[in-house]
A and B are shown apart, each in its own frame.
Chain A
Amino acid sequence: MDSKGARLKGGSLLLLLLLLVSNLLLCKSVASLPICPSGAVNCQVSLRELFDRAVILSHYIHNLSSEMFNEFDKRYAQGRGFITKAINSCHTSSLSTPEDKEQAQQIHHEDLLNLVLRVLRSWNDPLYHLVTEVRSMQEAPDAILSRAIEIEEQNKRLLEGMEKIVGQVHPGIRENEVYSVWSGLPALQMADEDSRLFAFYNLLHCLRRDSHKIDNYLKLLKCRIIYDSKC
């Protein structure tokens, strides 16, 4: 009984807070838009923690991707000249991402957040298939398989965290789930060993690059949002 009453009270308070926040947001200009409404201490603290956690995850995922790519390159791709063919072959290249620091700093943080979400979502499917296909590889090296599994798991967590952050930074507006479709599964399952290996190489190469992008963008966002560009 008491808990119910407390819950009701809490719910009404939350509603009031939301109304207040939305009012504040509407009143203020975009340039000086605060991430958290003034006075809401919980929001400040939790956003910092969310970002810290997200950065840790993205850093970890890129480390794993890097190691996985290097391992694969060393074992399977020596002397095959795969790099010459892996040009412009990532499925996420259709997403227009900033290509240097100036571009990244000019983009608005909401757009950058959404971009990160899109890239993350685009990798859900490929990661899943990567794990299954690596397993079925001949002499599937444990170093690669274990990392693939770990990356898939951490990617999901990062996606959840990012959705929470977006919910806090940009509440209310929920864009359509835009992401790039990956259609490289048939290539991963080809009978020709060389083609199949190249398909893996390409996927790992793109994964390494995209995970670095996400890591970089998140670190930029964190310094900009949480520390006001004074990291």
Chain B
Amino acid sequence: MEWGRRGDLDSRRPQKKWRNLFRICLRKMRLLHFWKQKSEPLIHFLQQDKGVNMRENAVSTVASVLLLLLNVSLLNGQSAPGKPKISKCRSPEKETFTCWWEPGTDGGLPTNYTLTYHKEGETLIHECPDYKTSGPNSCYFNKKHTSIWKLYIITVNATNQMGSSSSDPLYVDVTYIVEPDPPANLTLELKQPEDKIPYLWMKWFPPTLVDVRSGWLTLQYEIRLKPEKAPEWEIHFAGQQTQFKIFSLHQGQKYLVQVRCKPDHGFWSEWSQESSIQIPSDFTMKDATVWIVVAVLSTIVCLIMVWAVALKGYSMVTCIFPPVPGPKIKGFDTHLLEKGKSEELLSALGCQDFPPTSDCEDLLIEFLEVDDSEDQQLMPPHSKEHPGQGAKPPHLDPDNDSGRGSCDSPSLLSEKCEEPRANPPTFQTPEVLEKPENPETNMTPTWDPQSVGAQSPRPSLHAGGSKSSTWPSAHPSQPGARSSYHSIADVCELAVGPAGPAPATLLDKAGEDVLKSSKTIKTRPEEEVATQREMKSFPSKTGRDAAWLLPQEKTLFISAKPVDYVEIHKVTKDGALSLLPKQKENSHRVEQLRAPDTSKEYAKVSKVTDNNILLLVQDPRAETEALLEDSAKEALPSLEQNPAEKDLTFFTGTPSNCRVQLGGLDYLDPACCMHSFP
């Protein structure tokens, strides 16, 4: 009945609405009651028929109730307001702030929104002082009501006829919600200084509200610009300055520029309004001239370069890519090698003096040692092997040099040579070799063990090249003896370089099995001394020979002058050795070597130097003298001038015992002399 009267209801006034609603409800209730009363007898009557009738009743009741309710709601569509939500709070200058909220559903009724807050540490609840300034659904807190570094607990309440609801409280500290306005008064200017590139100069001011002068806020700026039609902005950070210059501009374009700012601990502002500026096109003329000038200059430069390359191409190439130099030894003339003049070659190498210079020292790797015990061991066999002068010693092994009685020969050395007794370190270690030593002083220590060691096993001084080599010069230490020997040889060969073959050839020229004159780097007059040993592998062992010959460490060996090989003719009664120079085909070399005559006689031991090196002098009266000491070669030039004083310390007292064989090739048994040695 009343359903259709919905429109009659005056919905403008809530009171009337309620009254109407109430009336409607009452009517309906009365109606229902009436019908219920009416239907009671019927129900009773129907109850006799249970089941279906009962159910039908219940259903109808429920349906009517539901309909009633639906009617009520459809009638006015009103409800309590939905829950509002505080969307954002912002402060433009850290002195005031504003909060905005979003209303929920209003329930169809006018809803009143109120904002309440209280500060941290206070209990008093305040209401928003200003709802208007910041627009609808906002609350503006002015300076008086704003405290920094303090939490605000803010709530928004929505109220309407039907009810009210409150938002969740928001905890706000003004310190962290600062978002300033965009910078103001952005001005653009195109500056064209004379003779310089034109640029765009832009200037702006901080937003009006922000207090930068006192330092309350510190702002940083950012600008962006683009040609009008370009899709993307070009952003530049400007720091705390309020101006900026742009240099890379396209001609004839219209540029748009914007700027924004950010406080030291806050949010970026919005971009300011676009400012635009038109870049005129007359820059192209200037650019064109510049480009023309640049092009002309580059053409000229290219022409010059082409011309230079054409003229001096090769020299430039060599300048840029210098030829890789080949190995070169100072003072070494490769051409001499080709000619086969080893003396000149070796002299060029500067191996003039005894002891050897440092060049070879560096190359020597190992050192040959001689051990007394080994020498002892070696002695007996060797003593047999040196029958006498001129007899060829049985070939001990292919590597054997003439210097056999000692640990010279690699085979012997490897077998028998042990660590030298008291070899000076220089002798033993390569490092020592590199020490800049006085060769003479070196000689002395090396001499001792060598001489003693060498002589003990070895029969005598080796007059020949190989014999001399038996002379305690370089005695390789045992295990590496052979290898060291070889290494010495190899090293020296390397050092000597092409000189290697030369001595070999020389030796070959000598033409005999015994080319004792092992070549050292130093050019010394070599006297080939016949040795009893085979020198099969001699050519390849020239280095070794040299090693033998050098009493000193290998340094001496390599840098030592070519040994003079002489034959020990005899040992005179007073202990002097009489030596025969080797007078063989190396006479020409002999000439080169010792300045004096070819037949040199070293009949006397002039002295024993500090290194325990015997210095032999030429004794005109003696027939021959063995060159006992290679290390003495350094002193040999002086040796020759030395007075022929005999140093008999070495020999005295032993001649009779020690003399194995005198004359010709003599090997003085070093064992005899060992004890005489200090």
Contacts and interface: CB of A to CB of B under 8 A. Distances in A.
B38 interface: no
B147 interface: yes
A63 B221 CA distance: 18
Contacts of B215: 219-224, 229, 231
Interface in A201-228: 209, 212-213, 215-216, 219-224
Contacts of A93: 121
Interface stretch (B148-156, B355-363, B478-486, B568-576): B148-156
B149 A97 contact: yes
Contacts of B171: 83-84
Interface string B132-173: 000000000001001111110000000000000000010101
Interface string B393-434: 000000000000000000000000000000000000000000
A153 to B, nearest CB: 21
Given A62-B265, A87-B120, A231-B214, A209 B175 contact: yes
A92 B216 CA distance: 22
A224 B216 CA distance: 10
A212 B149 contact: yes
Nearest to B150: A99
B211 interface: yes
Nearest to A105: B214
A209 B146 CA distance: 16
B13 interface: no
Interface string B105-129: 0000000000000001100000000
Contacts of B330: none
B213 interface: yes
If over half of A's interface residues share one DSSP class (helix, strand or loop), that class is named, otherwise mixed; here it is helix
B179 interface: no
Contact of A88 (B120, B212, B264): B120
Contact of B213 (A97, A100, A212, A229): A229
Contacts of A105: 214
A224 B120 CA distance: 30
B149 A229 contact: no
A122 interface: no
Contact of B148 (A100, A215, A229): A100
A189 B375 CA distance: 85
Contacts of A216: 216
Given A62-B265, A83-B171, A209-B173, A101 B149 contact: no
A66 B265 CA distance: 9
Contact of B214 (A59, A87, A224): A224
Nearest to B151: A87
A94 B212 CA distance: 30
A213 B265 CA distance: 12
A209 B149 contact: yes
8 smallest A-B Cβ distances: which pairs? A223-B215, A88-B121, A219-B215, A99-B147, A83-B171, A220-B215, A231-B215, A87-B120
12 contacts: A83-B151, A83-B171, A87-B120, A87-B121, A100-B95, A101-B148, A209-B149, A212-B175, A215-B264, A219-B216, A220-B216, A229-B213
Interface of A: 59, 62-63, 66, 83-84, 87-88, 93, 97, 99-102, 104-105, 209, 212-213, 215-216, 219-224, 229-231
